Structure 1
């Protein structure tokens, strides 16, 4: 089995290398924006959209033009990769996986990519890597880079430069360890497992919200682009990077622990974008409980549910295990004992009390049990060739599989 994996390290460039990396990132952003402007102009004129090959021909003209001769100072492959990113953005838009491509802004996601492994030389012994027109770059090596180098991405975050080395290697298909578990994601409890255990939410944004508010308030009082404004902006960026790093670390540890100890994980197919949509409304139809919904939206986005699901997906695949997603409908309203589904069963955010049989339990735990049973039902339908699994409210305790699984301490 081939495993694709990225190894990310912080770079330790000198002043000249920092200057060049800023230039290369700016040129890649310029090429992306110019290509997007060209595509928009062709659309308005009724012409056909250019493909990647056509955009590369345009790039050759831009590099040889008297208006933009400075594009020659950057290696051509990273500039071509920015056009490939534009082509992929349009493909995602037409497939309804993303919104229409937008122009890139300076200082946000500054990066460029080297796609040709023949131009990359990795010296792990001396903790350095050689890249075209940048020379040898030292990096903080925290672990060994395994596999064959496929491509390299250089990016800037919070004033620091990082390198992500994409590799490929052949590994044996592992045998999954552990049993099956259903997980209910929430705000009060980040993840509740079907065996009764749960993970407390980290709430990294909430912990730093006051400090971030003060830093942003200080930034708003500075004259734009002044030296004090730049210092205040750097403080805001450092806080935002810290919040993101804390959340990312928490999600990686949680997903790694679960994937290492379970052969099957079942999650709800939560539509985070819809759940966190603003309730502000319009002037003609103003929304209700806007402030409360805004706070709930912040709490939902602070959990990082989609990132957790994405990490579980590839980590379980590495372990030979499987991730199954099921519809979230009625998972917290269906009694796991008698199968009765009703909105009255969930008395509060945390309390479940069945109006049919009197079963009482934590609502998140009940949802996790029903999620696991829905996952087993979906797998059974796939094996038997049925069109769709039964709804959550139709699962009965006498026909549902056992819920025996545990999270490693």
Structure 2
């Protein structure tokens, strides 16, 4: 089967390259905002007007005549900016995102080349149309055929993301089965007794973060000193995110290589991290404590952990199974008795029925593994052969 994969590297542009990259970002942002404004104007005239790339793309030549500086940007970059806006509208109507907003300078600066780029890995450089050759930090080899190239800027650094497509042979995983219980004191506990400590990248860097935020609040907005502190604050936020992301990649890579079947809870992070403030009629309880708990939950980044583990297991021939988290930490693995009294403390599990004692996270991981294997067995038993010989519910991938 054919899969798509992205390779991201840091660019090393010189002064002239940076000016061209910023110019391309500005042109792409201008076309995006111009198309969004045009959509609002048409909606006032005709309420049934629907945005589409085909309707807006014909206006690009007119805009280039009106604004000569748009001609310096690659035409396909501008076209892809309109396609991004079309995708934003599509996600809004599917109720997957908010209504598209106007892009601001300095926030999420990026543009994309759908074709025309060349890569020389042995020379550590990449060719971008109308920009030229730019060197990059080559940390790994690019596999497959290049489909598109995205340039982005974050905290003053430029990055290139190369999406490729290649044939992937389904591997056969020889690892064992494992259940994972997610937590805050322990980030992840496995059924074999192994556990990973919580990194808490935000908590460890919070003192410096508060200091920079206090300095920013004392500066006059948009002044030079304000911009300097703002840049320091952005870099510190990026450092916190990079530490968390690096830790997650190391854990998920290890788990996906060593285990063929991984079972974990299907946690609803949004519901778990809701505020406890309440409303004007009914005030919340333990608001400060719940706020700290929500911050700790979001600092673990459980959803990103699940996302990385899912696609890495797919690449290695494994499978991720998510189970209902209800009563996984309250059920005795020996007698099956369910009670909140079984877990009076956060760390210890003591069954009031049979007296079984064990670490609470290890008990939760054991119950998750059993539930996941039972769920997998039900899926296998319920599959029926169709008229074409394909099992119902089986994913068929074609080239």
TM exceeding 0.5: yes
Corresponding residue number in structure 1 for 2:393: none
Q: Name the structure 1 match of 2:35.
A: 35
Contact 1:28 / 1:79 at 8 angstroms: preserved in 2?
A: yes
Per-residue Cα deviation, 1:50-105 (whole angstroms, up to 9, x for no partner): 222223234444333x2x44332221222222222222223333333333333333
Q: Tell me, what secondary structure is at the counterpart of 1:11?
A: strand
Q: Which moved more, 1:19-28 or 1:326-335?
A: 19-28
Residue 122 of structure 1: aligned partner: 119
Q: Given the superposition, is the C-alpha separation of residues 62 and 246 from structure 1 closer, same or farther in structure 2, using an over 3 Å criterion?
A: same
Runs of 4 or more above 4 Å deviation: 40-45
Q: Match of 2:270?
A: 273
Structure 1 unmatched ranges of 5 or more? 387-409
* 1:112 paired residue number: 111
For residue 108 of structure 2, give the secondary structure of its aligned residue in structure 1: coil
Aligned mates of 1:49, 1:271 — CA distance in 2: 34
The residue aligned with 1:54 is 55
Q: Which of these residues, 161, 164, 174, is aligned with residue 161 of structure 2?
A: 164
Quick one: distance in 2 between partners of 1:109 and 1:69?
A: 25
**From 319, 322, 328, the counterpart of 1:322:** 319
Q: Does 1:310 align with 2:310?
A: no
Q: Counterpart of 2:11?
A: 11
Matching residue within 355, 359, 362 for 1:362: 359
Alpha-carbon distance in structure 1 between the residues aligned to 2:372 and 2:61: 52
Partner Cα distance (2:127, 2:322) in 1: 42
1:398 corresponds to: none
Name the CA distance, whole Å, in 2 between partners of 1:81 and 1:2: 24
SS in 1 for 2:222: coil
**1:167-316, aligned counterparts within 5 Å?**
167-316=164-313
Unaligned runs of 5+ in 2: 384-399
Instruction: Name the SS of the counterpart of 1:335 in structure 2.
Output: coil
8 A Cα contact 1:3 1:318, kept in partner: no
Alignment deviations for residues 308-331 of structure 1 (CA, whole Å, 9 cap, x no partner): 111111110110111111121111
After superposition, give the CA deviation of every residue in 1:177-214 in whole Å (9 maximum; x if it has no partner).
Answer: 21111111111111111222110011111111100111
How does the TM-score come out when normalised to structure 1?
A: 0.88
Listed one character per residue, the Cα deviations across residues 245-267 of structure 1 (whole Å, up to 9, x for unaligned) are: 11111000000000000111112
| CA displacement 1:8-52 (0-9 Å, x = unmatched) | 111111112111211222222233333334444555652231222
Taking the aligned partners of 1:23 and 1:211, their CA distance within structure 2 comes to 34
| Secondary structure of the structure 2 residue equivalent to 1:133 | coil
User: How far apart, CA to CA, are the structure 2 residues paired with 1:265 and 1:103?
Assistant: 42
Give the Cα separation in 1 of the matches to 2:201 and 2:375.
35
Change (3 A) 1:73 1:176: same
Structure-2-length-normalised TM-score: 0.90
Q: Is the 8 A contact 2:177 2:259 kept in 1?
A: yes
- Partner of 1:190: helix, strand, or coil? strand
